[in-house]
Structure 1
Amino acid sequence: MFDPFNIFFKGSRYWLIKSIVKLLTSGTRRVEFADFWMGDQFCSLVVTLSDLYLFACAYAVGFEKWRKCGSTAKTWPAVFILAMLPFLIRVVQSIKRYVDSRLNTHLINGGKYLCGIIYYLSYYIWRHQGSLRNTSFAFWCLFGTLYSVYASAWDFWMDWSLFQPHVKYPFLRAELLYTDHIPLYYFAIISNILIRFIWVIYIPSSSASNMYLRFFIAGFLEMLRRWQWNFIRLENEHLGNMDQYRVTREVPLPYSFNDNHHHIGDSDDD
C-alpha cells in the first residue's frame, strides 16, 4: 500500500490511503460523494475490522494458540469499537452534511447508523452473556429487525431510488442504465433483503467452531451484498447528476430555435 515506486497502480493505492485518512478526519471538512461512499464500503467490513484485534492477539501469543484470543468480558469493548468505527464515522458525516445543507434526510440517514450501532452493541452483550434466551437476546432481535428494515428501506428508496410509481418495469425506476439485465434488479432487491437479515443465523445454539463458520458466512455474504449494491448506487448517482446537469456538455435552452427563420443575408445584430 505504501510502496513509493510507480508500480502496482500507485495512483490507486495512494487514492485509497488518502480516502481512508479523510474518513478518520470526518466532520472537519465538507463531505463529498467519495467520502460517504467509502464509509459505506467499510460498514460492510464489520467482521473484518473486529478480527483485527484477534489477529494482533494471535500474532502476539502465537497462531497455534489463537483460540486463547477469543473475546472476553475485558476485551469485547475494544472489539466492538473497532467494528463500529465506520458506523461512527458515517454518523459524524451525516451530522456534518445536515449542518451544511439543513436537509433532514441526512439526520434520518444518521439515525440508520445509530440504530446499527445499538444493534451490534446488543449483539455483543448477548454473546458475552453466554448467548442465553434472556432480555439481551430479545433486545438484540428487536434492534436487529429494526435495523434490517430501516437499512433495506433506505437502500431501496434513497440509495437506489427504486419502487417508483407508473414505470415500465414494476418496482424499479423510470430511468435504467442496465437495460439488458433487468432481472438482476429484482435479484438485487430480494438478495439485499435476505442478506440484511443474515443475523438470524446466529440465533440457533451451536459450538464455538460453528459460530466462527457463521461469522465467515455472514461476513462474506455482506461483502457480496455491498458489491452488488455499488452498481445500482453508482447508477443512481450518475442519473441524479444528469438530472442536475452536472455530467452533460450541453444544457438545453428554455426555448426552441427554428433554423428556417435564419437567412443568409441577416446581420449579426439580427
Structure 2
Amino acid sequence: MLLDPLPIFFKPSRYWLLASVGKLLTSGTRRVEFSDFWMGDQFCSLVFTLSNLYLVVCLYVEGFNSNWRECGSVSRFWPLSFFLAVLPFLMRLIQSLKRHVDSKLNTHLINGGKYFSGIIAYLCYFIWRHKGRNHGPSFAAWCIFQTIYSFYALTWDLLMDWSILRLHVQYPLLRQQLVYTNHIYLYYFAIISNTLIRFIWILYIPARGPDIILRTFIAALFEMLRRWQWNFYRLENEHLGNVDQYRITKDVPLPYDLDDAHADDVDEDDEGSPSRKWFPQRAIRLRRQRAVEEV
C-alpha cells in the first residue's frame, strides 16, 4: 500500500513517510532537521512492534503449524529481535552525534547519552528474557540500567523536550509561555502520566500475574499513548523556541483588514505613492485594494 504508485490513498503522504524513513536509515550522512529526529522519536516508541517483526521469519522457519509462542525472545532469534527493537535508538544516537559535530553543542551529546543508555537497558532486558526471567545477575543488571534510562529519559522529557518545571511562573511547575491556555490541567496530567508510563517496565517484575506477552502488549500500548501525548507538548515547545529565536512569529497577522473601508483616507505624496511614514501593512493593504479595483 505504501509503494502504490496510483494517486489514491493519500499518495503524497505515503511517499513522504517513505522518504522520512529512508532519511532515518541514512542518519549521519546529512544535516539533521526537525522532521528527522521527530520521526526518529516516534519509532522509539514502537519497540514492541519492531521487535516482533522477526516473528514472521520465525514462523516461516519453524512452520505455521507449530506453537507460535516458541518464536518468542527465548528462541535463537532473540538477537534479531533485539536489533530491530533498538534500531530507532541507534539512529537517534547517530543523529545526536551528527548534530554535535555540526553545532559543537554538548547538549546533543547529553541527548545521545539518553539513547545509549536505552540501548544498554534493552540489551539487559532481552538477556534476562533469554535466560528465563530468573532473579539473578541479569535481572539485577536490567533493573539498574532500566532505572537509569527511565530517570534519564523522564528528566529530558520534562526539562528539555517540554521545557517545564520552571519556578516563578504564573502556573507552578510549567513555563512562562503556554499555547494550550484553555486546558491548563492537561499539562499536570501529562507530567504525572508521562512519569508513570516511563516506569511501566515494573510491570514485568512480578513472577505471578498476566502472561509476559500480555504484559509486553500492555506496556507497548501505554508507551504509544505516552508518545501521542508527548507530541503535542514537544511541538508546542519547538514552536515557542522558534518564536524566541525570531525564526517565526507566534501570531501571524494579515497584512490588511478585510473590513477596513478607510484605506483611501491616507495621505499620499506628490508622486501618488504611499508616504514613507506609513506602516508596511498599510502600504500592502492599499496596493492590494488597488489591484482588486483594477481587476
Q: Distance in 2 between matches of 1:39 and 1:7?
A: 26
Partners of 1:58 and 1:65 within 8 A in 2: no
Aligned to 2:206, the other structure's residue is in SS state coil
Counterpart of 1:186 in structure 2 is: 188
Q: Distance in 1 between matches of 2:238 and 2:156?
A: 14
Give the percent of matched residue pairs that are identical in Structure 1 and Structure 2. Answer: 64
Q: Distance in 2 between matches of 1:265 and 1:138?
A: 82
Counterpart of 1:144 in structure 2 is: 146
Gaps of 5+ in 1: 251-262
What TM-score, normalized to structure 2?
0.82
Measured against aligned partners, the alpha-carbon deviations of 1:161-187 in whole angstroms (never above 9, x if no partner) come to 001121111000011110111111000
1:225 aligns with 2:226: yes
Counterpart of 1:84 in structure 2 is: 86
How far is 1:72 from its partner? Answer: 3.2
Counterpart of 2:263 in structure 1 is: none
Partners of 1:50 and 1:80 within 8 A in 2: yes
Counterpart of 1:236 in structure 2 is: 237
Q: Distance in 2 between matches of 1:65 and 1:75?
A: 15
Aligned length: 257
Partners of 2:51 and 2:81 within 8 A in 1: yes
Counterpart of 1:201 in structure 2 is: 203
Counterpart of 1:126 in structure 2 is: 128
Q: Distance in 2 between matches of 1:226 and 1:17?
A: 21
| Structure with more relative contact order (C-alpha pairs < 8 Å, separation 6 or more) | 1
Measured against aligned partners, the alpha-carbon deviations of 1:112-152 in whole angstroms (never above 9, x if no partner) come to 00000111111111111121111111111111111111000
Q: Distance in 2 between matches of 1:269 and 1:129?
A: 79
Distance 1:269 1:82, change over 3 A: closer
Counterpart of 1:21 in structure 2 is: 22
Runs of 4+ in structure 1 off by over 6 angstroms are 263-270
Partners of 1:202 and 1:214 within 8 A in 2: yes
How far is 1:206 from its partner? Answer: 4.1
Distance 1:131 1:68, change over 3 A: closer
Please report the RMSD computed on the Cα atoms of aligned residues, expressed in angstroms. Answer: 2.1
| 1:10-49 pair list within 5 angstroms | 10-49=11-50
Q: Say which one has the larger Rg.
A: 2
User: What residue identity is the alignment partner of 2:196?
Assistant: L
Q: Of the candidates 81, 97, 119, which is equivalent to residue 117 of structure 1? A: 119
Partners of 1:50 and 1:82 within 8 A in 2: yes
* Range that drifts further, 126-135 or 186-195: 126-135
User: What residue identity is the alignment partner of 1:241?
Assistant: N
Higher percent of residues as helix: 1
Q: Distance in 1 between matches of 2:107 and 2:48?
A: 28
Counterpart of 1:101 in structure 2 is: 103
User: What residue identity is the alignment partner of 2:4?
Assistant: D
Gaps of 5+ in 2: 254-266, 278-295
Q: Distance in 2 between matches of 1:70 and 1:30?
A: 38
* Range that drifts further, 212-221 or 51-60: 51-60
Partners of 2:117 and 2:148 within 8 A in 1: yes
